[in-house]
Structure 1
Amino acid sequence: MVPSVHASGVTVFETLKAHCGKAFSGKIVRDTEQSETWSAAHLVLHVRDCSDTELRMPLHLSDNRSRILVLTKLNSGKMRFKHDHRHEDGSSDPVTMYGGDSLELNAPAQTFPVDEESVALFLANGLEASVQNVWHLQVGEGVLRYRLTRPSGRDFMMEFDLSTPVDVPPPAWDRKAGHN
């Protein structure tokens, strides 16, 4: 379960949209698998593209610019959270646009269980462990928390300090010619 925050009434979407164009440094605060790829990386989240219904936020792991987090408002008042993965040439990774829809209406903490489309994608690519993924986004006290959990005990969480912008990183790999 995502740690509680004060009920400010400010939503994840509104908070991140208010930071459009800015980038923020992050850190791993929990990783039950202790992944070297993640623990050694310099993390930067760039709140890059913002509309009234969608945010596109590249997540940089040092020089790896393959990940773009996509948060979309749905007509129901809930949110959709997807992971757009790209190769360095800008083409889509075979495992891309996975995620799910929120359980809660627009709130400071959102839970996104894996959707059926993503389950099929994971199974087709030999990623059976991912078929029970649950992602969590939470804002509060100047921090964005991104968390991935699984019933198996997998627990991974990053925190991004929204109070101190950093230099905007180089363009993510989705910005390569012909692949927008």
Structure 2
Amino acid sequence: MKKILFALVLLGHLAIQAQEKTGAQQFWENLQKHCGQSFEGEIKEGAANDTFRDKKLVMHVRSCDKNTIKIPFFVGDDKSRTWVLSFDKDRIKLKHDHRHEDGTEDKVTQYGGTSPNSGSAGIQFFPADQETFNLIPNAATNVWWITIDETSFTYNLRRIGSDRLFTVKFDLTKTVATPAAPWGWKE
């Protein structure tokens, strides 16, 4: 009887702990489940962008530390883009790391924003921060958001007050071959 009572108390405690996780913590854990895996995507909005048209799009959840997740985003042979997510004080920050083929930083890099609240397990919003405004004044009204569920991951950009909208959706149900390292990465 004591063992059953102990097991029920333990299960109750675990259930309470699970309920106490914030949206940001749950989102982070959902993303970390895919560490080391690569997925193919397709443009859902903004397909007129010639940079992405008719190119194979692959994301690779390449690096997962306790507080940093790095996701290179390959557009055909272009390995210049990495989404860098950081977790701190129940907020998630998104930065865009852009590199040249020789590994040096592009002059337009490290833009993005920090979630204004904990968000939810399936979606996080990142309004443009001051660094973004200083670097790209026209991007002051950018809002990026990432969604994740059991079957898909989406990366989205909306420039408020304009027609600019970009969405790429990745199928999390099928992994693809892992690409070589993105530009600027040391193995």
Q: Into which bin does the TM-score normalised by the smaller protein fall?
A: 0.7 to 0.9
Structure 1 residue 57 and structure 2 residue 71: aligned?
yes
Superposed CA offset, 1:3-25 (max 9, x none): xxxxx998332222111111000
Task: Name structure 2 gaps, 5 residues minimum.
Answer: 1-22
* Structure 1 residue 140: Cα displacement: 1.7
In structure 1, how many angstroms separate the alpha carbons of the residues matched to 2:53 and 2:114? Answer: 28
Please provide the CA RMSD for this pair.
1.9
So what's the TM-score if we normalise by structure 1?
0.85
The correspondence for 2:179, drawn from 169, 173, 176, is 169
1:79, 1:106 within 8 Å by CA — same for their partners in 2?
no
Structure 1 residue 119 and structure 2 residue 133: aligned?
yes
2:24, 2:119 within 8 Å by CA — same for their partners in 1?
no
Bigger relative CO (Cα 8 Å, ≥ 6 apart):
1
Which runs of 4 or more aligned residues in structure 1 lie more than 6 Å from their structure 2 counterparts after TM superposition? Answer: none
Name the structure 2 match of 1:4: none
Name the structure 2 match of 1:133: 142
- Between stretches 10-19 and 161-170, larger displacement belongs to 10-19
**In structure 2, the residue corresponding to 1:119 is in which secondary structure?**
helix
Name the structure 2 match of 1:5: none
Q: 1:10 to 1:117 in 2, by over 3 A?
A: closer
In structure 1, how many angstroms separate the alpha carbons of the residues matched to 2:60 and 2:146? Answer: 15
Work out which of the two has the higher radius of gyration on C-alpha atoms and give 1 or 2.
Answer: 2
Aligned residues: 163
So what's the TM-score if we normalise by structure 2?
0.82
* Structure 1 residue 97: Cα displacement: 0.7
In structure 2, how many angstroms separate the alpha carbons of the residues matched to 1:78 and 1:119? Answer: 20
Q: 1:170 to 1:137 in 2, by over 3 A?
A: same
Name the structure 2 match of 1:35: 49
**% of aligned pairs identical?**
37
**What pairs up with 1:61-72 in 2 under 5 angstroms?**
61-72=75-86
Task: Name structure 1 gaps, 5 residues minimum.
Answer: 1-7, 124-128
Query: Which amino acid in 1 is paired with 2:156?
Result: R
